[in-house]
C-alpha cells in the first residue's frame, strides 16, 4: 500500500513541476501614452467606425478622442474624458466615475457607479 501512495505522490509532484509557468504579468498602464491601438491623425467630429474596440484616437494637435455614437446616430470622434490606460472590465475604479479606459483586448471601458461601487464597464452600451 505504501508503494502505491509513494508512486501516486511522485506522479502528482511531477505533474505539478511540469505545469506551465504562470503568464508574465502585463506592465501597469495608467495613461494614454502606454495604451495600444490609439489611432493617430483623427479629425475631431469626423465619422468613425468602431465604438466597441480600439475606440480611442488622437488629433494632430495631441487631443485624445474616442469614437462614440450619441443617441445611436452615426458614430463620430468626440473629446475624451480622462483616460486611465489599460484596465480590466469589472475591476474597481474608485474616484474615476465617468472616466474611460481600454481593456487588454481593446474593449472601450467607462467607470460606472452602481449600488455604491464604481467598476469598469463596457463603454459602448
Domain limits, the chain: 27-122
**The model's pTM:** 0.77
Residue 57 has which C-alpha cell? 484616437
Q: How far is CA 30 from CA 76, 84, 118, 122, in A?
A: 25, 5, 17, 18
The whole-number pLDDT of residue 121 equals 97
Tens digit of pLDDT per residue, the chain (125 long)? 444 434 334 433 344 334 434 445 567 999 999 999 999 999 999 999 999 999 999 999 999 999 998 887 899 999 999 999 999 999 999 999 999 999 999 999 999 999 999 999 999 87
The whole-number pLDDT of residue 27 equals 73
The whole-number pLDDT of residue 24 equals 52
The whole-number pLDDT of residue 125 equals 74
The whole-number pLDDT of residue 6 equals 41
Rg (CA), the chain: 22
Residue (of 85, 59, 79, 84) closest to 67 by Cα position: 79
Instruction: Give the single-character DSSP code of 92.
Output: B
Q: Quick one: which H or E segment has residue 100?
A: strand 100-102
The whole-number pLDDT of residue 22 equals 47
The whole-number pLDDT of residue 25 equals 58
How far apart (Å, rounded) are the C-alpha atoms in residues 102 and 63? 17
The whole-number pLDDT of residue 26 equals 63
C-beta atoms surrounding 112 within 10 Å: 17
The whole-number pLDDT of residue 71 equals 80
The whole-number pLDDT of residue 16 equals 37
Amino acid at each position: 500500500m505504501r508503494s502505491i501512495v509513494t508512486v501516486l505522490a511522485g506522479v502528482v509532484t511531477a505533474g505539478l513541476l511540469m505545469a506551465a509557468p504562470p503568464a508574465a504579468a502585463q506592465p501597469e498602464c495608467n495613461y494614454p501614452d502606454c495604451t495600444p491601438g490609439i489611432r493617430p491623425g483623427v479629425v475631431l467630429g469626423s465619422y468613425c467606425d468602431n465604438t466597441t474596440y480600439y475606440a480611442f484616437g488622437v488629433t494632430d494637435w495631441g487631443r485624445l478622442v474616442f469614437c462614440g455614437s450619441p443617441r445611436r446616430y452615426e458614430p463620430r470622434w468626440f473629446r475624451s474624458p480622462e483616460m486611465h490606460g489599460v484596465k480590466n472590465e469589472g475591476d474597481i475604479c474608485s474616484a474615476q466615475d465617468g472616466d474611460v479606459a481600454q481593456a487588454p483586448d481593446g474593449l472601450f471601458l467607462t467607470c460606472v457607479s452602481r449600488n455604491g461601487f464604481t467598476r469598469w464597464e463596457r463603454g459602448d452600451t
